[in-house]
Chain A
Amino acid sequence: MRIRYFIPFFFSLLLVFACSAPTKEQDKVIALPEFVDFQAPDKNPAELTLDLFPLANLSDYGFFKGVMRSLIPNEGVLLYEPASSLFTDYAFKSRYIWMPEGTAASIQADEEGTMDFSEGTVIIKNFFYPMDFRKPEEERRIIETRLMVKSNEQWEAYPYIWSDDQSDAQLKVIGGEKQVSWMDEKGQPQVINYIIPNKNQCKSCHNIHEQLVPIGLKAKHLNHAITFKDGTHNQLVKWADAGKLSNYSAVAIYPTMINYQDQNQSLELRARAYLDINCAHCHRAEAPASTSGLFLTYEETDPLRLGILKTPVAAGFGAGSFTYDIVPGKADESILTYRMGTNQVGAAMPEIGRVTVHQEGLELIKQWINAM
């Protein structure tokens, strides 16, 4: 018995020392402490004082009640979901918005239906990993909660990192790194070193004309039905009924974007929705990646701006051995898919928010390019 174990052990040692076999640091799964059912203090977000922001702990705001790690929203904390979701290393997300009593959002007339929010509005986004992706409702580990707060007519971002015992999350402006492990949909174990961005990195994506802005809170991302506690409703209608959307009109036609995962939609729309939510926050005229001239919004119609037979500008080694962002019919010769498919820092796109390749997203974009 012993010998049978010993030999493979000896061999693996040999491999490690002789050939430096791949024993990457991150493959050693770090054991987590017992999770703690910490009760959120009884707080009412309506009594929050903006001047005291940011607060040290997530529980200090009163956005969640009961056991903190259950993330049960308090009264008036409204669930929302964009139609398509940004890829963040396969993390699951739950999103809420808090608008102070008596205030409401409004929809602007632009083609995306950008929204205005009142002073004191807080957007809350939780990032978590179910232990087993095949049972997402069971045990999970929350990694971080990001708050965006509207005060003094501008947004501020505050990253909160969850303690390993899952009792609560603490403000940490310099970000951090957490090892995360899970069982994927195929039952394969996965381990990554998840990066929590520092406060100012938030603006790498949330940036229009160098002002911090929300991304998913636009009419085009919210103009679809989701399941609330009281049933399934279009989010814009739900907000309007709750008095949280001041200028909603039942007869107006608002922009809408599809869910890129919806197989019933056309390949074209799915690919464009994917590029919009994953790239266009930066790749648009008003945002940091305007330097590239590559614009990937759902609304863009110019083939050159979309990257078709467009040469790069400052891509450096991000261009790989390729000439154009998109070569119609040739996904594997396109810079776009090269940059989505690499983890090399400086070449990987998006620049932050992932250390793994989104295989399903990459496959979708490859199909789209190959079908051109």
Chain B
Amino acid sequence: MKIFLHSLKTLSPLLILVLLFACSENSTEMTFDSSKLRKASQEEVDRVVEAFIMAQDGEVIEIPAGFYAIKTQLILDNKSNVTIKGAGMAETVLSFRDLRTGGEGVKLVGNNIRIQDLSIEDAPGDGVKSQHSDGITFFRINVTWTNGDKSKNGTYAIYPVQCKNVLIDECIASHSKDAGIYVGQSENIIVRNSLAFGNVAGIEIENSDNAEVYGNTARDNSGGILVFNLPSLPKPDGIGTKIYDNDIITNNHVNFAMPLGEDPNGNTVTMIPPGSGIVLLAAKDVEIYNNRIHQNKTVGIAIANYHVTGFPMDAPNWSPFTSNVYIHGNDYQRSRKIPDLSKEMGQLISVYNAHGKGKSQDIVYDGFWDKSLSSSIEGNPMNICIQEAAMDKLRFTLFDLWEGESNIKSSKNPGFFNCSLSISTDVSSLSLAN
């Protein structure tokens, strides 16, 4: 959003500060209190570390109830058909508060790996990461941070990357400084029946193919559910995401990815304005339907192109444009709160929307399109289709940002997005297998 930096900064720094301090919402809600659990002895902790190291194909690693303070990483190294099983997410807690080195608390690599019924707390970097796995299931795990000061929290809670056949089911991810549930550069993905709260981003699907996100609750994050494609990655452009039957509510948490008052850094999530329900960024083939999108103070669904980041866009096998989007049958409830003014995208929506200053929006589209396909947006060259029941009652804004900050234009629903699309995903094998 570099293009808006200047004009919006001069808007009213004082007002922004006042709003930041007065209205920003912060949550340190805990699902349960792990401090009451029995502390595992050093021998018990060492046994768990050894169990991961000595694991054999086909093994079930059972971790009894207790609070395990672990100073080293738990790494499962390229094994097959291994299950890691605690006594329940409120009974078995792996705490990485004392971890001295390593990017994540738990790392799982292999085929048909399953982790279930436990909690992971306070990893300095990521909670649980899985890489290069084919068949990775996260079932009934809770990954969180217990710091009162959330600026100390880690990056991702549940983090499969470069994986195939990913199932995240009945999990809880909270208070991560980036995304609670983050699936990156993967294919064949289900995220279902899970809860993400108190994160900067609740659930994020990035550079991934063939994903279904359903039956989840994403609440009290800065942004509820994100579908992004970032440039210059080994997996260039992700295609095919369905988001349905989710509760995406009150995602008004302050964006704590950066310290208060600091500008965003190079991580795109630092730009997400608090009060965002769903955000698409350079996303391809996305269907959003039958969700309850309630009380997100800035915008219900934001359709954005990579242009808004202001970052370089030259990358092979990747397009900065969001295309082939079908939004239909969702239920919207606007918030009466003042939309976000802490982020540039929030300022853009708050100030320049087509319905009046300070009015929260149901759907916005930043209005960039691929000019090699069409000379105007009126032919809907990027195939953005929106069919909602009471379209006339929704607040929809189409921006025109081509001329930058000096001449920001916006219009209400122009009608040419009224179309339907067929988006195909197929995760049936994954769904049945588990």
Contact = CB atoms under 8 A, between A and B. Distances in A.
A and B form one complex = yes
Interface of A: 173-175, 177, 193, 195, 197-201, 203-204, 209-211, 285, 288, 290-291, 293, 304-305, 309-325, 335, 344-348, 351-355
A313 B233 contact: yes
Nearest to B132: A210
Nearest to B99: A345
Interface stretch (B57-65, B70-78, B353-361, B389-397): B70-78
Interface in B8-22: none
A147 B356 CA distance: 68
A198 B178 contact: no
A-B pairs, 10 with minimum CB distance: A316-B155, A346-B125, A200-B75, A345-B124, A346-B124, A311-B266, A323-B266, A351-B103, A352-B101, A319-B265
Identify the interface centre among A193, A199, A201, A317: most chain B CB within 10 Å of its CB: A317
Given A198-B53, A353-B101, 7 more contacts: A198-B73, A209-B132, A321-B258, A322-B266, A335-B266, A345-B124, A351-B125
A316 B177 contact: yes
Interface string B287-330: 00000000000000000000001011011000000000000000
A355 B100 contact: yes
A198 B49 CA distance: 9
A210 B109 contact: yes
A240 B154 CA distance: 50
A293 B234 contact: yes
B224 interface: no
Nearest to B109: A210
Q: How large is the interface on B (under 10, 10 to 19, 20 to 34, 35 or more residues)?
A: 35 or more
A339 B40 CA distance: 34
B102 A314 contact: no
B185 interface: yes
Contact of A345 (B53, B125, B162, B268): B125
B131 interface: yes
Nearest to B103: A351
B50 interface: yes
Contact of B102 (A177, A201, A335): A201
Contacts of B234: 285, 290-291, 293
A351 B102 contact: yes
B109 A311 contact: no
Contacts of B346: none
Given A200-B52, A293-B232, A322-B265, A345 B184 contact: no
Nearest to A174: B49
Interface in B87-127: 99-103, 109, 123-126
Contacts of A320: 265
A313 B314 CA distance: 16
A316 B100 contact: no
Given A201-B102, A319-B265, A351-B102, A174 B75 contact: no
B149 interface: no
Contacts of A316: 125-126, 154-156, 177-178, 257, 267
Given A351-B102, A351-B103, A201 B232 contact: no
Contacts of B49: 174, 198
B312 A309 contact: yes
B99 A174 contact: no
B50 A173 contact: yes
Contacts of B54: 173
A305 B102 contact: no
A293 B159 CA distance: 17
A312 B78 contact: no
Contacts of B132: 209-210
10 contacts: A174-B72, A198-B75, A203-B77, A204-B75, A210-B109, A288-B131, A313-B230, A314-B178, A316-B125, A351-B125
Nearest to A282: B103
Contact of A310 (B72, B102, B232): B232
Contacts of A321: 258-259, 262-263, 265
Contact of A174 (B53, B257, B311, B315): B53
Contact of A201 (B73, B76, B124, B177): B73
B161 to A, nearest CB: 5
B263 A314 contact: no
A317 B256 CA distance: 10
B138 interface: no
Contacts of A200: 52-53, 73, 75-77
B46 interface: yes
Contacts of B103: 204, 346, 351
A176 B100 CA distance: 11
Contacts of B67: none
A323 B2 CA distance: 12
Nearest to B151: A317
B102 A315 contact: no
B182 interface: yes
Nearest to A176: B72
Contacts of A348: 101
Nearest to B311: A311
Nearest to A353: B101
A351 B178 contact: no
Identify the interface centre among A200, A211, A315, A344: most chain B CB within 10 Å of its CB: A200
Contact of A314 (B72, B182, B262): B182
Nearest to B259: A321
A173 B266 contact: no
Given A201-B72, A319-B267, A322-B265, A210 B78 contact: yes
Contacts of A209: 132
Nearest to B153: A317
B75 A177 contact: no
Contacts of A210: 78, 109, 132
A275 to B, nearest CB: 18
A314 B100 CA distance: 20
B254 to A, nearest CB: 16
Given A314-B161, A351-B102, A346 B266 contact: no
Interface in B130-164: 131-132, 154-156, 159, 161-162
A38 to B, nearest CB: 26
Contacts of A324: 266
Contact of B155 (A193, A305, A314, A354): A314
A60 to B, nearest CB: 20
Identify the interface centre among A177, A198, A314, A347: most chain B CB within 10 Å of its CB: A314
Interface string B231-268: 01110000000000000000000000111001101111
A314 B178 CA distance: 8
